[in-house]
Amino acid sequence: MLPFFVDLVTRTDEARREFETNPVVLEAVANGMSVERYRKLLLELYHVVWHFNPVTAAAASRVPDSHRQVRYFLYEHMQEESGHEEWVMNDLQAVGVEPAATRAHAAGIHTLALNGYNYWSADRRHPCSVLGMMYALEVIASVYGGPFASAIRESLLLEGERGVSFISSHATMDTEHMAELRILLNTITDDEARDAIAESTLVNFHHFTRLFESI
């Protein structure tokens, strides 16, 4: 039997590649993007990040005792992610969007679909599905965060971490998270939880790809 981490990687390979091979993503990683598009991206990301901990909390509250290691992992992860929406807001301010405007921004349809699915799956599908959301977001951040932050910095002539602090810091941080997530995922042995995590990964990659395309 395959360790679940590599099983998950294999089962969701095409969805991950669909994100990686999307022309909009490739172009952004290679050449950055205009300030208007970057603002739009950060505004959508703000909503993803803002809902990350509530989704995780919803899942943690429903995790059965049989998966208590998942619950503890989620507690720690929430602690680490707490307040990161402020980083996105600071980056937005650096590129000309005031915090009030960020808070007032209405999320796009793909972001709504992404967040909506994550709440629903934590509530109705299986609470472990939240790990699929984390896996997808950490793959995106750890693999593409670094080059994307560099491309943005260069194309918008930003200095240091100003304007890219959220993406840049997550690129490094999520490499650590990926190793921790792998260890946790390999402890999950029941098919119901595994299937829910795989489904959630596929849906998160799908919506994130659409979100990127739409900005």
Partner 1 sequence: MTPASPPALTAMLRRPYRYIRLEWNAEFAALRVRTCVKPIQCYSLAAMGELQRVFADIAESAGLVKHFVMTSDVPGVFNFGGDLSLFVLLIRARDLDSLRMYGRRCVDLVWWMENASQLGVHTTVLVQGDTLGGGLESVLPFHKVIFERSAQAGFPEVLFNLFPGMGAWNFTIRKAGFSVANEMILSGRLYTADQLFRRHLADVVVEDGEGEAALSAVVNSVHPRLRGTLAALEARRVAAPITYATLMQIVEQWTESAMTLTDRDLRLMERLARAQVRKAGGAEEGAVEAIKRIELDTAWGEERTGVTEWAALT
* Binding range to partner 1, per CB under 8 A, among 10-18, 44-52, 67-75, 189-197: 10-18
Binding of partner 1 by 89 (CB under 8 A): no
**How many C-beta neighbours within 10 Å does residue 2 have?**
11
Rule CB under 8 A: say whether 77 interacts with partner 1: no
Closest CA to 135 of 46, 84, 201: 201
| The length of the chain, given as a count of residues | 215
Q: How far is the CB of 161 from partner 1 (least distance, A)?
A: 17
Min separation Cβ 140 and partner 1, Å = 11
Check residue 119 for interaction with partner 1 (CB under 8 A): no
Segment near partner 1 (CB under 8 A); pick from 24-32, 53-61, 103-111, 207-215: 24-32
Backbone angles phi, psi at 42, to 5 degrees: -65, -35
Neighbours of 147 (CB within 10 A): 14
Phi, psi angle pair for 33, to nearest 5°? -155, 170
Q: Which of 53, 142, 200, 201 binds partner 1 (CB under 8 A)?
A: 142
168: left (phi over 0), alpha (psi -120 to 50) or beta: alpha
Q: How far from 146 is each of 155, 170, 213, CA to CA, in Å?
A: 14, 8, 20
Nearer to partner 1 by Cβ, of 18 and 81: the residue is: 18
For residue 6, state whether it binds partner 1 (rule: CB under 8 A): yes
Interface residue list for partner 1 (CB under 8 A): 2-3, 5-6, 9-10, 13-14, 16-18, 20-21, 23, 26, 29-30, 139, 142-143, 146-147, 175, 178-179, 181-182
